[in-house]
Amino acid sequence: GAAAFSFGVDRMWLSDGNDRTQLQLGARYALWRGVSAIYSGGMIGFDQASASYWDPRRFTSHAIGLELSTQQDSGFSVSARVLPGIGRMNDSFDPTDSTSRSASQLSTGLALAYRRRWWSLTLDGDYAHGVRDSGYHSARASARLRITP
């Protein structure tokens, strides 16, 4: 169809006794051939503060943008997306402290795929920046080979 929605929940328990909960929400709406409007939102939160890693009490983000794609049943496919958005973070573990910080953010992604009848190879990656005042940047890359006999 013209629209697709996704929702995910992730719970992580750490060896220092801390817990992390993450919620993800996504939506895609086809505008015309090969162009879609996309939304990505989420929340991540830790139960306790830690000096060892980034541990916001609550971080929420919302982004909306466009994805350009070519989808083929066989052969090469490409997709690229850009999503400007905003992130809001509350670092305090004090329940009486309601201060939070907001920052603009930008995420981008690119995926290349080659498909055949019984296998496919996908290379993809993402880049994001602007989440924290410290000049935070993140990058991710992956390669997947899928065999479907």
Burial code (b: 16+ CB inside 10 Å, e: under 16) for 1-22 equals eeeeeeeeeeeeeeeeebebee
Summarised one tens digit per residue, pLDDT across range 84-96 is 999 888 776 666 6
Summarised one tens digit per residue, pLDDT across range 113-133 is 999 989 999 999 999 887 555
The pLDDT value recorded for residue 56 is 81
Residues near 120 by beta carbon (within 8 Å), at least 6 away in sequence:
113, 114, 144, 145, 146
The pLDDT value recorded for residue 30 is 94
The pLDDT value recorded for residue 97 is 67
The pLDDT value recorded for residue 131 is 55
Pick left, alpha or beta for residue 135 (phi over 0 → left; psi -120 to 50 → alpha; otherwise beta): left
Task: With beta carbons less than 8 A apart as the criterion, state whether 104 and 128 touch.
Answer: no
Residue carrying the six token digits 């573990």: 93
The pLDDT value recorded for residue 94 is 63
pLDDT band for position 76 (cuts 50, 70, 90): very high
pLDDT band for position 54 (cuts 50, 70, 90): confident
> pTM for this one?
0.77
Summarised one tens digit per residue, pLDDT across range 4-41 is 999 999 999 999 989 999 999 999 999 998 999 999 99
Within 10 angstroms of residue 38's Cβ, the number of other Cβ atoms is: 18
Residues near 71 by beta carbon (within 8 Å), at least 6 away in sequence:
77, 79
The pLDDT value recorded for residue 72 is 78
